[in-house]
Amino acid sequence: MNNIYAEILKRVENNEALTLKTEFTGSEGLIAESLTKTLVPFAPQTDMRGRCFADVTFEESDDGHSVAGEPFSPPERLIVLGAGHIALPVCEFAAKSGFEVYVCDDRPSFANEGRFPDAAQVLCDSFENCIRKLKITSYDYIVIITRGHTHDADCLREIFKGTQPAYLGLIGSRRRVKGLLEMLLEEGCPKEYMDRISTPIGLDIGAVTPGEIAISILAELVAYKRLPEHSRDGVRCCNDSDVELSVIKYLAENHDPKAIVTVIETKGSTPREAGAKMAVSPRGEVTGSIGGGCSEGAVIRDAVDIIGTGRYMVVDIDLTGEVAESDGMVCGGTMKVLVEDGAEN
């Protein structure tokens, strides 16, 4: 049987956005008889203000027929241009937040894997060559933190030649950045591209030290990724899904018996949002998480029991009221979770 997660991984790594559509009838049953999965083109949603976002959808009809839609986007690369002291915590924090980090600098003593163990790749070359090699896409995030505005200008000129990234941030004082952008405008660089640059880079939290500056930069990246109001162009599609690409990679590459657990709907305050996914082995070992705690432990037991049965079931987790309080849960919402025998995927 084809592994649908291998197909998802292949397509997102080829810069394609898509949606996994899962349809099932009833709260439990045989996967072969009552549950289907198909890949369909990604269709962004809009909110009341017309802002675009990508979120897991779930619809349940009166006859028990349910449809869940999980959006998947290409990996979010963070390209750090400049490997100085600020780049070190930026790379570390960004990698831990789910970005694939690429660090670029033309100095071998700075651009090396020993300094950046969390980076997916460290490139030591001119900034222009690094940008050409990385082939910027509209899903990329770029942070320019070079050692001087001469190099900043080189980076911007090269970036402006191709596909524009989702986010482009530039460090520097307002006065010096203003002078740099005026110079590039006189050279004929597109004003609409420069208007999208986030500068001064980072959220204003009074950051001073390299670690604090890195936190402010990463906070802005996450806000830009998750919150429509932080979009510079007003049309970018924000990612509201809680899916982790590392779990998709595991499901694509691991062929051992397992169960797949997916949060398909949440209401109120929950430890994870819709889209969170984990794989459970026959011994109860997990890859990924749906939030931890007692609620996850109970679902893991259900998942172990379903391995090898060819079945699925829907589990409703109540994190409200006296039951959740007695179990030590600090959230106050509900989660609907789909548990499937992984052999059927």
pLDDT value, residue 56: 86
The confidence score (pLDDT) of residue 237 equals 56
State the pLDDT at residue 295: 77
| 41 prior amide bond cis, ω within 30 | no
- Looking at residue 227, its pLDDT comes to 78
Residue 340's SS3 state is strand
Cβ pair 74, 136 in contact under 8 A: no
Per-residue pLDDT, 75: 86
Task: Show the tokens assigned to 278.
Answer: 């984990």
> Half-sphere exposure (CA, 13 Å, Cβ side) for 13?
11
pLDDT, mean over the chain:
89
pLDDT of residue 329: 53
Query: What class has domain 77-230?
Result: alpha beta
Give dist(CA 233, CA 167) in Å, integer.
10
Strand ranges, E, within the chain: 18-25, 28-30, 35-41, 45-46, 52-54, 57-60, 65-72, 77-81, 100-105, 121-124, 141-144, 167-170, 238-239, 259-267, 277-280, 286-288, 311-318, 334-341
Domain limits, the chain: 4-73+242-344, 77-230
Prediction pTM value:
0.82
How far is the C-alpha of 334 from the C-alpha of 345, rounded, in Å?
Answer: 26
Residues of the chain where predicted confidence (pLDDT) is lower than 70:
1, 44-54, 228-241, 321-331, 344-345
Of the candidates 58, 57, 107, the residue with the CA atom closest to the CA atom of residue 87: 107
